[in-house]
Amino acid sequence: MPTVAAPAIAGLPAFARSALLLDIDGTLLDFALTPEAVVVPPALLVALRRLKLALGGALGVISGRPVEDVDRLLGDVFHAVAGEHGGAIRHAPAAPIERPALPAAPATWVQAAEQAASGHPGARVETKARGFVLHYRGAPDAGAAFGALLRRLVAGSAGFEVLDGNMAWEVRPRGADKGTAVVALMAQAPFGGRLPVFIGDDVTDHDAIRAARAMGGAGLLVADVFGDPAEVRAWLNQIAEQDGW
């Protein structure tokens, strides 16, 4: 872990009654030029495994990434995984992935996004089961034009929305978000009966922050409480070493 002073955080529920729910990109991991290029520090995995044991298994991840991508990055560290902003949930390591009945983005939209990305070296389209992301971290000057394009594509479609992420625009179906994922995870063991503590960094995480607070837990935004993922990792390492906050 980096040598970073871990912040003291007030207002958290008692550790023994808590469930810890974490975003990945911009929260646990530093952003990279592409989603595939992120680096997972080995010490982070050690801290998370220790925290899962201390929390009686109540450690979950809520990410915009597909569940399969979370597995590739973090293996079996988390008991439960909510991917695609709540559009895909696996409640336990051996459980099936559950998906609410939501529409898939039209192929013509994906094709239009891919055509736009092809004109800007460094931009790329990431497809998901029912939506897609237009990344422009490698082509920052294209961000405004990409956002305008996607908003035009979904205009008049009540079933989809465009999200302004961190150097990325995402088209996703309405009906599931990170807030609904918090509620779904907290309804099942080993999370049931506990209070959620969610940490996220981006606009899509605000739904989860509100849901966690509404359930009597805590919702923490990285920029407000920690500053950056290095400080999040330092805090997780600290509470893992002392088995609680």
Q: pLDDT (tens digit, 9 = 90+) per residue, 162-180?
A: 999 889 999 999 988 999 9
- Residue pair 214/195 in contact (Cβ under 8 Å)? The answer is no
- Interatomic CA distance for residues 31 and 130, integer angstroms: 24
- Interatomic CA distance for residues 6 and 195, integer angstroms: 22
- Interatomic CA distance for residues 196 and 33, integer angstroms: 31
Q: What is the mean pLDDT of residues 26-44?
A: 94
Catalytic residue among 23, 69, 202, 205: 23
Identify the burial level of 106 via C-beta atoms within 10 angstroms of its C-beta, where 0-12 means exposed, 13-18 middle and 19 or more buried.
middle
Q: What architecture (CATH level 2) is domain 16-87+176-241? A: 3-Layer(aba) Sandwich (3.40)
pLDDT for 62-80, tens place per residue? 999 999 999 999 999 999 9
Q: Where are the domains of the chain?
A: 16-87+176-241, 107-173
pLDDT for res 1: 42
pLDDT for res 216: 97
Non-local (6+) Cβ contacts of 236 within 8 A are 28, 44, 47, 48, 51
Question: What is the pLDDT confidence band of residue 3, given thresholds at 50, 70 and 90?
Answer: very low
pLDDT for res 6: 56
Higher-confidence position of 2 and 218: 218
- Residue pair 216/22 in contact (Cβ under 8 Å)? The answer is no
The pTM of this model reads: 0.88
Question: What is the pLDDT confidence band of residue 156, given thresholds at 50, 70 and 90?
Answer: confident
Q: What is the mean pLDDT of residues 92-121?
A: 95
Please confirm, yes or no, whether 202 is among the known catalytic residues: no
Structure-token pair, residue 112: 């239009």
Half-sphere exposure of 55 (CA within 13 A, CB side): 35
- Topology of domain 107-173 in CATH is Alpha-Beta Plaits (3.30.70)
pLDDT for res 112: 97
pLDDT for res 128: 87
- Residue pair 83/70 in contact (Cβ under 8 Å)? The answer is yes
